[in-house]
Structure 1
Amino acid sequence: MNSRQRRRVLRTALALTAGFGLTAVAGCGAADTGKSSSAGSGDTITLTKPSWVGAEANVAVASYVLKEELGYKVTTKQMGEVIAWDALSKGTLDAVMEDWGHPKQEKQYVEKQKTVVSGGDLGVVGHIGWFVPKYWADANPDVTDYKNLNKYAADLKTSESGDKGQLLEGSPDYVTFDDAIIGNLDLNLKTVYAGSEAAQITEMQQKYKAKKPFLTYWWTPQWLNAELDLVEVKLPAYEEGCDADPKKVACAYPNTPLQKWLNADFAKDGGKAAEFLKNFKWTADDQNEVAKMITQDKMSAEEAAKKWVEANKDTVDGWLPK
């Protein structure tokens, strides 16, 4: 298992235990060898739309180009990442546009069953970590070293965290190693989930505006980083294999080149749509620009995609099948 594969196992492992019935679903996937019901058949392309806005931006732009430039119909389905892998294997999804690394699913569907194939790099490198607002770090420079966090636990207490300092999390569907890191580093902290990316952002913005201290699980790229000046807390350095056992993790998160995955039948028979999705590659700045239009400018995903595509014709032309 390489370092890319153990990325943000992050939004997924919790889903395995959160009552989504994934064990049964995975069993069905193992019996299904990928004879797809939709992949590569006809003019409708089905994409999964994850719950975080950066990934929504990928899907918005890809969908717009598929429809307006290539003449396809596009449907999107919002689902947990592990469920999406199973749907991708069975062909009820044609493509996943942003994956942060799922080694178990890669081994099952890519290596063993060969029902899923790589769609290449998205072009965006993701990173997860613990962050504090810069105004607080400026006043307390040592807070950016995990070894000093217990010193500031009282400043981070909330009604939800009790007598411990709060580590703000987003959706419980985002799998993190944070509980293990807290326990293994003997930190006086407690993870508290806002419930969603949007709720997490709202809480961060409120605390930032009030100049209150906070510690949060966060990631890049993310459009909010242009609005809030955040500083990463230094955890023990990531080394290959330090996150192999989720219960023993006591290290930082790695950098993650984000990946695209295609149903194998669709990759083979999906024609121009499959070729376009393989070619789709953009930057973190591109993604953040579209994400900001959706969230801050209150544009619909389609409106944001249209505006970006019209302003970036050369990039889009490079994605289109020759």
Structure 2
Amino acid sequence: MHSKPVRTSVLAAAGVLGLALSACAAETGTDSGSGGGADEVTFAVPSWVGAQANAAVAGKILEDELGVEAELKQMDEPVAFDALHSGKADAILEDWGGVPKKEELYVEDKGTVVKGGDLGVTGHIGWFVPKYFADEHPEVLDYKNLNDFADEFRTSESGGKGQFIGAAPSYTSYDQHLIDNLDLDYQILPTGSEAAQLTEIERLYEAKEPFLTYWWDPQWMNAEIDMVEVRLPEYTEGCNEPAEQTACGYDTLPLQKYFNADFAENGGDAAEFLKNFQWSTEDQNEVARLIKGEGLSADEAAARWIEGNEDVWKQWLPAS
């Protein structure tokens, strides 16, 4: 047990989150405090800034209000579900349904991971172009016409095809399958990270250049740039299974929380607080904007949001 909570800072620029797990937490997923609940919580935090915002706010409130230490460790969804299963992590606060096989294995078959409820944020992925280009060429908003614009999107790096700005490798993406199965004359530009993708989009947007990109909401930059979605074939349940045969757009879904099952049952006030944790897309985008747009540390951004939104987060605290 820790005598004093020590805040783990989120190093947003480096994407390195947290410290090593204690031996007890690694084995059980919780440390047992005097009240029978957890006195330390380990968050699995995907690399995108919205996920960092969730964990930064939840972790700071846990420490400041409940005296529970929060450790934030960067883990993409596949690794996060393994960690939840083994007890090396207690909670992931934002899951996009990107690992259905692991979800089925650990949640439905083994019962070592449990659903933690809605985050309160609705997620959507799609293909987007800047509004200034869509205004001039409204027909680009139908995927059937994209090949007519391949020359407009061609760059020196796209091998004579139209350039498609791709997502970070760890993000849920069917873009190459869509390009192949819809016979689109495009080449994906790999960006390597969310930060690199946003930098490239900012550069093109400021220059009023045409571009086609993987894009999503919640995304803090949506408050600063105006993007319009290209209509892909309608999403229907199971249309992206198997992934290689995907010829449909992306789903719109309420983002979910997942917990290690032992933590969910025995984590006491910490587990109850995280089950109650639910905020809006606007809340998340505000904290993300403070981190990426204004350059605050995740801890500073969380503190600023917490100070101005007591009426929201007080409702998440366990009943006394």
**CA–CA separation in structure 2 for the residues paired with 1:109 and 1:185:** 34
For 2:216, give the aligned amino acid: W
**The one of 217, 220, 233 aligned to 1:220:** 217
Determine if contact 1:35/1:265 at 8 Å carries over to the other structure. no
Query: Could you say what secondary structure the match of 2:258 adopts?
Result: strand
Once the two structures are TM-superposed, the CA of residue 160 in structure 1 deviates from its matched residue by 2.2
Once the two structures are TM-superposed, the CA of residue 40 in structure 1 deviates from its matched residue by 4.8
Residue 273 in 1 paired to residue 270 in 2?
yes
Corresponding residue of 1:76: 72
**CA–CA separation in structure 1 for the residues paired with 2:76 and 2:27:** 20
Determine if contact 1:48/1:93 at 8 Å carries over to the other structure. yes
**The one of 291, 297, 300 aligned to 1:300:** 297
**The one of 63, 70, 77 aligned to 1:67:** 63
Corresponding residue of 2:156: 159
Query: Could you say what secondary structure the match of 1:122 adopts?
Result: strand
Corresponding residue of 1:85: 81
**CA–CA separation in structure 1 for the residues paired with 2:67 and 2:121:** 27
Determine if contact 2:26/2:88 at 8 Å carries over to the other structure. no
Q: Which runs of 5+ in 2 are unaligned?
A: 1-24, 34-38
Query: Could you say what secondary structure the match of 1:135 adopts?
Result: helix
Q: What is the correspondence of 1:193-212 to structure 2 with a 5 Å cutoff?
A: 193-212=190-209
Query: Could you say what secondary structure the match of 2:240 adopts?
Result: coil
Q: What is the correspondence of 1:1-322 to structure 2 with a 5 Å cutoff?
A: 36-42=27-33, 43-101=39-97, 102-322=99-319
Query: Could you say what secondary structure the match of 1:69 adopts?
Result: helix
Once the two structures are TM-superposed, the CA of residue 171 in structure 1 deviates from its matched residue by 1.1
Once the two structures are TM-superposed, the CA of residue 172 in structure 1 deviates from its matched residue by 1.4
Q: Deviations over 1:135-184 (max 9, x none)?
A: 00111110111111111101111222111111101211223111111111
**CA–CA separation in structure 1 for the residues paired with 2:117 and 2:128:** 30
Determine if contact 2:45/2:76 at 8 Å carries over to the other structure. no
For 2:84, give the aligned amino acid: L
**CA–CA separation in structure 2 for the residues paired with 1:259 and 1:143:** 33
Determine if contact 1:119/1:262 at 8 Å carries over to the other structure. yes
Once the two structures are TM-superposed, the CA of residue 191 in structure 1 deviates from its matched residue by 1.3
For 1:272, give the aligned amino acid: D
* Deviating more after overlay: 155-164 vs 293-302: 155-164
Corresponding residue of 2:4: none
Greater RCO (Cα-Cα under 8 Å, separation 6 or more): 1
Determine if contact 1:156/1:213 at 8 Å carries over to the other structure. yes
TM-score by length of structure 1 reads 0.88
Number of residue pairs matched? 289
Once the two structures are TM-superposed, the CA of residue 272 in structure 1 deviates from its matched residue by 0.4
Query: Could you say what secondary structure the match of 2:66 adopts?
Result: coil
Query: Could you say what secondary structure the match of 2:126 adopts?
Result: strand
TM-score by length of structure 2 reads 0.88
**CA–CA separation in structure 2 for the residues paired with 1:241 and 1:155:** 33
Aligned-pair identity (%): 56
Corresponding residue of 2:6: none
Determine if contact 1:40/1:271 at 8 Å carries over to the other structure. no
Q: Go from structure 1 to structure 2 and tell me whether the alpha carbon gap of 1:154 and 1:211 turns closer, same or farther (over 3 Å shift).
A: same
**CA–CA separation in structure 2 for the residues paired with 1:40 and 1:103:** 29
Q: Go from structure 1 to structure 2 and tell me whether the alpha carbon gap of 1:35 and 1:199 turns closer, same or farther (over 3 Å shift).
A: closer
Query: Could you say what secondary structure the match of 2:122 adopts?
Result: strand
Q: Go from structure 1 to structure 2 and tell me whether the alpha carbon gap of 1:41 and 1:190 turns closer, same or farther (over 3 Å shift).
A: farther
Q: Deviations over 1:192-223 (max 9, x none)?
A: 11110011000000000000000000100101
RMSD, matched Cα: 1.3
